[in-house]
A and B are shown apart, each in its own frame.
Chain A
Amino acid sequence: MKLSELGPEFKTEVMSHKEAEGLNLCFACGTCTAGCPIHEIFYEYDPRKLAKMVKLGMREEVLASPYIWYCTTCRNCEQRCPQNVKFFDILNVLKNMAAKEGYAPHSWIEQTKQIMKNGIIFSITEELKEKRRALSLPALKYNGERAKKILKLTGIDKVKDQGKA
C-alpha cells in the first residue's frame, strides 16, 4: 500500500455518523484488543488495528474484511476503554457501510427477511405450535406487517446479499 493512497476521507466519512464521533479520542493503547475474546482465539481480528486502519484511510481493506463481522458483541472493548471510545458502535457503523456495499453476511440478511415476514427471526411452524400446546404455553401471534413497514423506512430491505461476504 502506498502512502499516497491514504488520507483522512474515510475517517471523516465514518465519523460523520453520530455513533462513531469518539474515534478521534483513540490513542491506540490496545485495551480493547486485550479484552477482546475473539482476538484471543483469532489473532487477525483486532479492534485497535481496525481503528487505526480507519484513521489511516484504508477504506476498502476495512469494509471488505470478513473479520469485521466476527465480533460477538460482548462490548468489553467499550466497557474497558480508558478514553470512553465506543468501539462497539464504531464497528456497527463500519458494518452498516460494508452492508451497503454488498458485504453483509447472508445470515443477517436472511434474519431481516424473516422479521419482515414473521415479526421475529424464526418461522412459527406447526411443529412448534404443537410443542407449545403440549407445554400449555400460549399461542404465538407475532406478525411482521408493522415491522415490515418500519424497516422499509430505513432501506434495510434493499441491502442485497451480493455474495461478497
Chain B
Amino acid sequence: MRRYALFLGCTTPTQVLQYELSSRWICKQLGIELVDIEDFVCCGINQSNISIEAGLLLASMNLALAEKRGLDILTLCAACTGQLAEAVEKLEDPKIRDRVNSKLKTVDLRYEGKVRVRHISRILYEDIGVDRLKEKVKIDLSRLRIAPHYGCHYLKPASAFKGFDDPDNPKTLHHLISATGAYPIDYETINLCCGGKSFPVSEDIARSLVKSKIDNLMLKKIDFLVVQCQTCYLMYRGQQRALNQKFNRNYNIPVLLYPQLLGAAMGGDLRDDLGIHLNGISLDDFTKKLGVDLPYIKR
C-alpha cells in the first residue's frame, strides 16, 4: 500500500470539490492511501510576491508536518507542487535549512530534508504506470478527443523536477490520457499559461490568456479540455462565460480534471464518485459523448 500526505491547498477543497472527490476516489481504487493532515497551511506561493521568505517558511512548515509523520506529499494543485518542490530543492542547502529551522522552532517544527513532493498525475505515471492504468479501464473512451493542459508549475522550476518530463514539450499528461483510451491532441497554444496568478491583480490580462487558448481550441475538434490543476480549471471553466458576455462569443468547451476522466474510464459513478455534474456538464450529455449507456447513478 502506498501512503501519502494529501496536500489539498487552498482552492481545491473550497471551490473545486469535484477535483478532491475524484482524486480521492481513483486513489482508493488504485491502492493509494491518502492521509489528511489537519495542520497543513497554504503552500505560500502567492506570499512570495510580497515576501520570498514568507513563502519559503509556509512551504517549509508543510514539509516539516509531513516529515513528522514519515510521509511524502501528494499534491493536486500545480502551483502548490511547484512551490513545495522548489522549497525542497532550496532546503537541500544546509545553510538555508538551518536558517529556516531556526524560525520553524517558534512553532515547534523542524525539517530534516526527507520529504518528496509529487503531483497526483506524476504519482499515477511513475508509481502506478500507464500499463497498469490501462488494465483498470472498464469503459471505452476511444471516441473522445481531448486537449491536454499541463499547468505551468507542474514542471517548473525545471530544476525541482529533475528528469521528469520536459516543460517545453511535455508528454506525461498525453500518456495518462491515452491510458484511458481517449485521444490526446496536440495544439498550438498547449503550453500557454491559464493566467490564474495574474487574475487577482488584473482580470482583463488573465482573461486575455484564456481567450487565446480557447480561440485556438474552438478551431479543433475536441470533446474536452483536460486540466490537472484547480486554478487552470477555474480559469477555463469560469472565464469562458465571462468572455461570452464581454465579447458576445459562444465559447462552450467543457473542462474536466484528469482524475474525473480516469475515474469515468474506471467506471466510477459520475455524480457520487467524480462530481462531473459540478463542472456544469449534464450527465446525459456526458454519457452521450462517451457513446455508452452508463448507469451513472448507482442508487
Contacts and interface: CB of A to CB of B under 8 A. Distances in A.
Interface of A: 17, 19, 37-38, 40-42, 69-76, 78-80, 88-89, 92-93, 95-96, 99, 104-105, 107-109, 111-112, 115, 119-122, 124, 128, 131-132, 135, 137-138, 140-144, 146-147, 149-151, 153-156, 159
Contacts of A128: 14
A37 B195 CA distance: 9
Interface residues of B, number: 58
A107 B203 CA distance: 12
A137 B208 contact: no
B202 A70 contact: yes
B260 to A, nearest CB: 13
A111 B14 contact: no
Interface string B48-82: 11111110011001000000000000000001001
B193 A137 contact: no
A149 B198 contact: no
Interface stretch (B39-47, B180-188, B222-230, B245-253): B39-47
B51 A154 contact: yes
Given A72-B195, A115-B58, A124 B208 contact: no
Given A38-B205, A141-B38, A142-B41, A122 B11 contact: yes
A121 B20 contact: no
A142 B14 CA distance: 12
A114 B10 CA distance: 11
Given A72-B198, A131-B17, A154-B57, A115 B157 contact: no
A38 to B, nearest CB: 6
B46 A74 contact: no
23 contacts: A17-B52, A37-B192, A37-B193, A38-B209, A72-B193, A73-B193, A74-B152, A75-B153, A96-B52, A99-B50, A105-B200, A105-B201, A107-B200, A128-B14, A131-B17, A132-B13, A135-B17, A137-B20, A137-B21, A142-B41, A150-B57, A150-B58, A156-B50
Given A156-B47, A156-B51, A142 B40 contact: yes
B156 interface: yes
A124 B14 contact: yes
Interface of B: 9-11, 13-15, 17, 20-21, 24, 36, 38-42, 45-54, 57-58, 61, 79, 82, 103-104, 106-107, 152-153, 156-158, 167-168, 191-193, 195-198, 200-202, 205-206, 208-209, 212, 275
Contact of A150 (B38, B106, B158, B212): B106
A77 to B, nearest CB: 10
Contacts, number: 174
B197 A72 contact: yes
A111 B21 CA distance: 25
B57 A153 contact: yes
Contacts of A107: 200-201
Given A111-B200, A153-B103, 9 more contacts: A42-B205, A73-B45, A95-B49, A96-B51, A108-B201, A120-B41, A132-B13, A143-B38, A149-B106
Residue from the set B14, B17, B191, B197 with the largest chain A CB neighbour count within 10 Å: B14
Given A71-B198, A142-B41, A19 B50 contact: no
A121 to B, nearest CB: 5
B50 A140 contact: no
Contacts of B54: 112, 151, 154, 156
A78 B157 CA distance: 8
A155 B50 CA distance: 10
A146 B39 contact: yes
